[in-house]
Structure 1
Amino acid sequence: MIDHAAEPPKAPSYNQPTKNMARRRSLAHAVELLTTRREEAAIVPADYPSRIKVAFAESDDAIRVATAPSCDESDISSWQAFRQEAVGTRSPADLTVAYLAGPEPSNDLLALLELGLRPENIWAFEVNTDAIANGLDELRSLGLRGVKFVPVSIGDYFVGTPRRFDIIYLDACGPLPSKEQKTTKLLVDIFRTSSLSPLGVLVTNFAEPDVSKAHTLETYSSLIAAYLFPKGFVEDDGVMIEGPPVYGYSAYDHEPCSDPTGDSVEDDDADWDQDSPSFPEEVRTNFSANYGSFITRQIMDIAEIVAPTTRLTDGGLYKVLFDEDLAKAATRGRRFAKFNDDAFRENEDGSWHPTDIDMDGDAISESSMFSLIWTLAWLGFYPIDVNFRPPSSRVKEFAKAWKNQLLGSSPSKLSAEELIACFYAWRHDETLWTPAMKAIRHFPYEQVMPFLCDWPTHEIGFYPAFAQLAYPAHPNIRETRRFSYVAEGKTTRMFLDVIPFDECRYVYDWLSAMHLVTEDWFDLSAQLTFRFALDAIVKERRWFGDDFLYGCHVVGESDTFATAQLSQRMDLSLGMSSSSRQADR
């Protein structure tokens, strides 16, 4: 008789039908985008500037009709050739992949091989001792040559090597964020080290936290509410709508605020909109939907703002663009989160009038332009303004662990909140700019750049100059696919995001660097070609943030020049026919 009680516990399995369906659908989409649909993976279509020129020539607007011939076909052709060189072509056999091995590395490996990838181009990473042993035995049984099974942290590998991957697949067992697994830190390191190819796909799979526990629901919902509330647009049943303040939501629950120790505090100066619906309550009530939205938005912000800023400061390249005193920029950035009490003077009759002192508090009055500043202020990481409540000690501790991971493995001496403050200070305060950047700021935009849709401003110059050195990656919204599921025999819901990223170097590098870029812009044809291409990036992220490239449209939204829509997250564990399930096995 076999003594089952004496058998060691079996390692968890990751080969359930729904899990397999999720794996295959996500990886198939990633491979297809980077091979047969590579043109669609790139954010700016090759014919985009030409389409704008044609639309202008056929317009009823006299300025646009007059502008169209100024964009020379030779410049458009030059840009198209430059773009094609950057985008290139790939076959499945050319693609490289990095993924988390776990105890069953063959599950993902075999799915990738079925899609046409070569085993030599596949790297699997694992640090758990038991999983390493099981994984090696499993791979040996396959008898494949060339598979890379590396017993180190995937994040350490990204930081320690210069290799870039076309697809990175992070099938994490934990939530986002996670203090133990440091999932946020790993995401930052991927983009800080440019471990994803200039045109690549990031596949992430995070677990839903156990919100049946009151303290878990409190901490996660507080972070999510703080993160989504300042966004100009948020998700609602598969469409993008204006942010919570437009619909009358309050940023806080309707109860006395608490100081960092958790004690109740009376605040006679603050009106917490007791009659308004509470956005934290909305997050708690519809936790799964808001958590899924938070995951997607967090990844995108890391790729476009957080990681590039960290990279720029790590090696000192920021000094080419901005004042070398980072502490000065951080101090300026903090002022966006608090109104300046000295900006108003009391009259003899008790009324107040503004002085010529800067009022500050920009992140409070224009939160969508300073969304990450607002989030960090809500969480208590900047001086508390009357418009913000101090978070509870539990929320503050949880948020601190998340916030610290925003540095990734950066050696920065500044905190994450200081570095983020730097980004917004650099964007909005030209006193922190070097002479080359000030030349961009004071370029005669309205005189030299034709008014085509939005008024041309220095927003056209700031982020491209930042991008040339900081290497952000832009998410391809229209080709992003998102799923959720609960695998057979499991109770935890998983959230799977398949997001293509494009560094758009064929846009940012087509112009001269910051010292010479204004000379390029005096060439009207070169200027228009750049602005036409940049418009596609602006359209792609129209509903996803005003933190940069605000008001840079050159053509209005239409069927021909549509803003990108984010497809609704699909639940793979519901509503799937048996034939569909069978096809995905």
Structure 2
Amino acid sequence: MSNSTTYKQEVKEKSRIEIWSNAVKKLTIEREHQRILNPNYIRRLWDYAFDEILPDKLDRDPDERFIESWTDFSNNSYEKKQPQQLKVAYFCGPEPENDLTIMTDLGILVENVWAIESDKEIYHSALTKAKKTYPTLKIFNGSISDLLKITSFKFDIIYLDFTAPLFSKQSKPLLTINSVFENNSLSDLGILVINSCVPDATEENIEFLASYFRSQPFLESDVLLGPEKSGFFAEGADTYGFIDQESYDCAVAEGDFEYVKDQPIYENAIRSNFGAAYSAFSSHYPVMIAGYMQPMWRIANNPSLKRMLLKIDDPKIRACIEKMMTLRDYESEESDMTEELEDKFQVSGGEVFENHQEFPIWNFMLRLKESKNAVSKYWYEQFSRKNGAASLLESVQLYDLLRNAQYSYKETLSEMLSDSIDQVISALPDPHGGIFCDVPMEHLWIELAINHMGNSYHANTNQHWRAKYQAKSREMYLDMFVFDNCRSLYNWLPMINLYGQDMASIERQIIVRSCMDAITKQNHYSAFFSYYGANLIGVNSKRWSDFGELIARKDLNLKPVSLLDDDPGSSLAPSSLA
């Protein structure tokens, strides 16, 4: 068999070593560093709050038993693991031994591994190969989605080795990624590895990526500004004066060429920086599904959970969602409508378009709906198709409605949640800001309830590892996500109706707000919805108060590597895990 058939190209072998070495190391030796709610960070925020910020606000010293109790609870929520305890699922192809040999060298037990192959012919080839060296290997003939539905346990590592781009219509990788979180299949502290090939820069693919990033409030700088401006996150397209091609064409048709002639066209930036745009999408979309779309989908499909958050029935909810997509007719509104009256009558509407960077995924899906190309139309059908009681599109709309409910759609909130938020705000020492970095706005407590009830997974950006390599015919992008279920926060909370009473304790309040700070620090750029505006301390106010940053993709074609390479920046030698 040729190398192209046996999947034993040198760079592919190198990628396997990098993947499994790093994944095992992160979940064993470096396990403490993968936790977003690291007790050391939370303790620093506790000390900062009570030693530097709140002394003038309190007439007593804080009760240290609260932070000590939470620290014990947090440590008990994250069990230590050895390689032989890790459960693994991976796409095996015709040669499952390629990955499995590396896994077992690192200490992973064959009994804890599930290999997956959906193609019948390749499955039989994999069985034949496995019988020779790993006869007890479990090889599942079907999709990983089917496997995840029947397993009674969670996987510590899931490796999705796609041979197509993530938004391929044929193999549907995006739906496979969705299923990992839909079925709650990743451990509370787990690793998801995704490998996919860079697609051709066709007009369909350019439009898809442009639709995805057009309303993002932050994105990797080289997507918009080119390779010479790489290595940091930039604000969204509006900041740099970009307009989309449709707006440009309309302006020209209406005789306004002079107005738009100097404005850069957004699609041209995606076209010029297509590889960077696909790289950013590969690192971004899984974070969106894990911490934004799936938690609300889970709530929307559970009537009891839905009633905890929402008061009104579905037709009225639908009317509010339609209102959010209907631009206000300012000319016909009363000219004497004061801010006080607007607040009283909750004058609203059109937020999705007027503040489009606050609704990036909703706008992405609307652009897919309006598109005429086949790729975009296909994915709109997938996102809008009901999966249970709700589709992903409806879940996004519900999340965004709830996130704005306290400001403009308060009638949608359940009485329990609304009362709890009012009680929380009353218990805050800084309901209008002026003490800590950010003003603790009402939406934070709604997001807390969604993440609490929806079993959200948050990405640890600082621990994200990614690489690229040139395979025989395609460039491949690898992403290793570390997802934290943050159970030391969500399991520590009471039920929603007791949030207000709980926050009346300043010690418990500071711990909850410190956890929010830790999560938003890691997701500030990649997942704005994860407690955006929950910072207790400003970035760089202390040496330890930074936002999470993505590393550049490591080029695996640069130098060979072996299993005995002890370079800590590349891979982990098996002996160090023995």
Cα deviation, residue 566, structure 1: 0.9
Distance in 1 (alpha carbons) for counterparts of 2:561 and 2:196: 27
Partner of 1:115 in structure 2?
106
Q: Is 1:532 paired with 2:514?
A: yes
Render the CA deviation track for 1:479-502: whole Å, top value 9, x for unaligned: 001111112xx1211111000000
Do 1:404 and 1:415's aligned partners in 2 also have CA atoms closer than 8 Å? no
Q: Secondary structure at the match of 2:145?
A: helix
Which deviates more, 319-328 or 129-138?
319-328
Cα gap change, 1:11 to 1:357, in 2 (>3 Å): same
Match of 1:293 among 280, 290, 305: 280
Q: Is 1:361 paired with 2:345?
A: no
Cα deviation, residue 65, structure 1: 6.1
Distance in 1 (alpha carbons) for counterparts of 2:34 and 2:476: 25
Partner of 1:228 in structure 2?
213
Render the CA deviation track for 1:339-395: whole Å, top value 9, x for unaligned: 123x431899xxxxx99783522222323321112212333x3xxxxxxxx53x21x
Distance in 1 (alpha carbons) for counterparts of 2:346 and 2:443: 25
Cα deviation, residue 18, structure 1: 0.8
Cα gap change, 1:506 to 1:130, in 2 (>3 Å): same
Cα deviation, residue 581, structure 1: 10
Match of 1:172 among 140, 162, 170: 162
AA at the equivalent of 1:543: Y
Partner of 1:403 in structure 2?
380
Cα deviation, residue 328, structure 1: 3.3
Partner of 2:338 in structure 1?
none
Partner of 1:387 in structure 2?
none
Q: Is 1:340 paired with 2:328?
A: yes
Q: Secondary structure at the match of 1:166?
A: strand
Partner of 2:93 in structure 1?
102
Cα gap change, 1:265 to 1:176, in 2 (>3 Å): farther
Do 2:513 and 2:536's aligned partners in 1 also have CA atoms closer than 8 Å? yes
Cα deviation, residue 267, structure 1: 6.6
Cα gap change, 1:449 to 1:314, in 2 (>3 Å): same
Do 1:232 and 1:544's aligned partners in 2 also have CA atoms closer than 8 Å? no
AA at the equivalent of 1:501: F
Cα deviation, residue 503, structure 1: 0.8
Distance in 2 (alpha carbons) for counterparts of 1:26 and 1:69: 51
Cα gap change, 1:202 to 1:84, in 2 (>3 Å): same
Partner of 1:78 in structure 2?
69
Higher helix share: 2
Give identity over the alignment, percent.
26
Cα gap change, 1:578 to 1:304, in 2 (>3 Å): closer
Partner of 1:445 in structure 2?
425
Distance in 2 (alpha carbons) for counterparts of 1:47 and 1:199: 18
Q: Secondary structure at the match of 1:443?
A: helix
Task: Give unpaired runs (5+ residues) of structure 2.
Answer: 222-229, 336-340, 572-578
Do 1:200 and 1:502's aligned partners in 2 also have CA atoms closer than 8 Å? yes
Task: Give unpaired runs (5+ residues) of structure 1.
Answer: 1-7, 212-216, 258-263, 349-353, 382-389
Do 1:371 and 1:547's aligned partners in 2 also have CA atoms closer than 8 Å? no
Q: Is 1:477 paired with 2:461?
A: yes
Cα gap change, 1:268 to 1:71, in 2 (>3 Å): farther
Do 2:427 and 2:500's aligned partners in 1 also have CA atoms closer than 8 Å? no
Q: Secondary structure at the match of 2:114?
A: strand
Cα gap change, 1:9 to 1:92, in 2 (>3 Å): closer
Distance in 2 (alpha carbons) for counterparts of 1:69 and 1:247: 50
Distance in 2 (alpha carbons) for counterparts of 1:89 and 1:68: 40
AA at the equivalent of 2:185: S
Distance in 2 (alpha carbons) for counterparts of 1:582 and 1:87: 30
Q: Tell me the TM-score normalized by structure 1.
A: 0.86
Cα deviation, residue 66, structure 1: 4.8
Match of 1:570 among 550, 554, 562: 554
Render the CA deviation track for 1:20-49: whole Å, top value 9, x for unaligned: 111211221111111111111111111222
Q: Tell me the TM-score normalized by structure 2.
A: 0.87
Q: Give the alignment of 1:113-192 within 5 angstroms.
A: 113-142=104-133, 144-192=134-182
Q: Is 1:320 paired with 2:308?
A: yes
AA at the equivalent of 1:157: L
AA at the equivalent of 1:318: K
Do 2:28 and 2:81's aligned partners in 1 also have CA atoms closer than 8 Å? yes
Q: Is 1:468 paired with 2:471?
A: no
Cα gap change, 1:432 to 1:150, in 2 (>3 Å): same
Cα gap change, 1:313 to 1:162, in 2 (>3 Å): farther
Cα gap change, 1:256 to 1:460, in 2 (>3 Å): closer
Q: Is 1:256 paired with 2:232?
A: no
Partner of 1:200 in structure 2?
190
Distance in 1 (alpha carbons) for counterparts of 2:5 and 2:246: 40
Partner of 1:502 in structure 2?
484
Cα deviation, residue 405, structure 1: 3.3
AA at the equivalent of 2:219: V
Q: Is 1:435 paired with 2:415?
A: yes
Cα deviation, residue 154, structure 1: 0.9
AA at the equivalent of 2:352: A
Match of 2:238 among 233, 239, 245: 245
AA at the equivalent of 1:102: G
Do 2:198 and 2:275's aligned partners in 1 also have CA atoms closer than 8 Å? yes
Partner of 1:261 in structure 2?
none
Do 2:312 and 2:413's aligned partners in 1 also have CA atoms closer than 8 Å? no
Q: Aligned-pair RMSD on alpha carbons?
A: 2.9
